[in-house]
Amino acid sequence: MWRIRIHGRGGQGIKTASQILGSAGFYSGFQAQDFPLYGAERRGAPVIAFTRISEDIILERGPISSPDIILIGDETLLNDPQSAPLCGAEPTTLIFVNSSHTPESLSQKFSLITANLNDLCLQHLNNRTVYSSALSAVGARLLGNIDLQDLLQAVEDELTPHGISSSALKGNLDLAREIFASLQPVDILRKEEKVLTAKSLVLPSQLPVVDGAPIILEPGNMALRKTGNWRVERPEIDYEKCNNCLICYARCPDGVIGIAPDGRPEIDYDHCKGCLICAQECPGHFIHTVREMGTFP
């Protein structure tokens, strides 16, 4: 069995990437299983998806803690302790990172493969951060046992129900072809399969509602959650041109733009999620967007 774990952010197509990869494996004659794992967070929050591909029936269930392949769609997640994309990686784990940096500059502990998918996505999809077809093509090619035609069929079958236009579908297919051709399969050392045994049946007892229902007595603590690490792009105010109209302050949906003592708008980057509504609403377009690059040079 091959176990693939995919990391990215909400809105980047991580769940769809796992679905495409699972369907491509199924079309190539394998058993397949794919599913995502995320909460109720908005676009930009860390997301994980899983794909299992096997020659035999898949009896495993649940998240993959010890993957054979890790696909990381956003390099800024490497520094996110809550996402922890490298958790469970072993020296034999194949790790791919969507990055323009060299593997050596990203990690001295693991052997990485890197490629800049953002430019390819912009070229084919006119969008830098939709990785569904790109990451599934990377996973299929690195596995080395999925045919290109099966991958393209999976891309079409998974994207068509979403109402994608014919031109956008063609772009996704061309993107998958180019990435598939640019990479080479890697010999993956398969882990020894564990024998699964059934555990004894557990009959849970029913508790009274007061004991069994969650009762929250503490005050809200959302301010302690640094949601700024959800951000892919950062809004920056050009104070030399800003006339302090404060429309950005009024339009911010999360209330992270405050008013400084001198009357200027001020962005709380610890909690700014990078929705960029402030940049769109600024009448003079004095708020610019800058892509977050993590802590890498």
Do the strands 69-72 and 94-98 form a parallel or antiparallel pair, or are they unpaired?
A: parallel
Q: Is residue 18 part of a domain?
A: yes
Tens of pLDDT, residue by residue over 193-238, are: 666 677 788 888 887 777 767 777 777 777 888 888 888 889 999 9
- Together in a domain, 44 and 139: yes
User: What pTM, to 2 d.p., does this model score?
Assistant: 0.74
Q: How far apart are the first and last CA of the chain?
A: 37
Q: Kindly state whether residue 204 falls inside one of the protein's structural domains.
A: no
Statement to judge: residues 235 and 119 lie in one domain? no
Record the tokens describing residue 269, joined without a space. 């980057």
pLDDT one digit per residue (tens) for the chain, 297 residues: 999 999 999 989 999 999 999 999 999 999 999 999 887 767 888 999 999 999 999 988 899 999 999 999 998 898 888 888 999 888 889 999 998 888 888 876 777 889 999 999 999 999 988 999 999 999 999 999 999 999 999 999 999 998 899 999 999 999 999 999 999 988 877 666 666 677 788 888 887 777 767 777 777 777 888 888 888 889 999 999 999 999 999 999 999 999 999 999 999 999 999 999 999 999 999 999 998 876 443
Q: Do 162 and 258 have their domain in common?
A: no
**Rounded to the nearest 10 degrees, what angle do helices 166-182 and 117-125 cross at?**
150
**Nearest partner of 247 among 207, 200, 285, 289, judged by Cα:** 285
pLDDT of residue 194: 66
Q: How high is the pLDDT of residue 195?
A: 67
Query: Using an 8 Å Cβ cutoff, are 110 and 89 in contact?
Result: yes
Domain around 174: 2-182
CA distance 127 to 146: 26
Count: domains in the chain = 2
Q: DSSP class of residue 160?
A: G
Residue 203 belongs to a domain: no
Residue 265 lies in a domain: yes
**Beta bridge partners of residue 32, listed in sequence order:** 53
**Is residue 169 located within the same domain as residue 247?**
no
Angstrom CA distances, 266 to 16, 226, 238, stand at: 37, 17, 11
The pLDDT score that the predictor gives to residue 152 is 95
In a domain, 85, yes or no: yes
pLDDT of residue 21: 96
Residue 14 sits in a domain whose CATH number is 3.40.920.10
Give the separation between CA 188 and CA 190, rounded to whole angstroms.
6
Q: Do the Cβ atoms of 53 and 2 come closer than 8 Å? A: yes
Which of 284, 277, 296 shows the shortest CA–CA distance to 235? 277
- Strands of the 2-9 sheet, one edge to the other: 31-37, 46-54, 2-9, 69-72, 94-98, 112-115
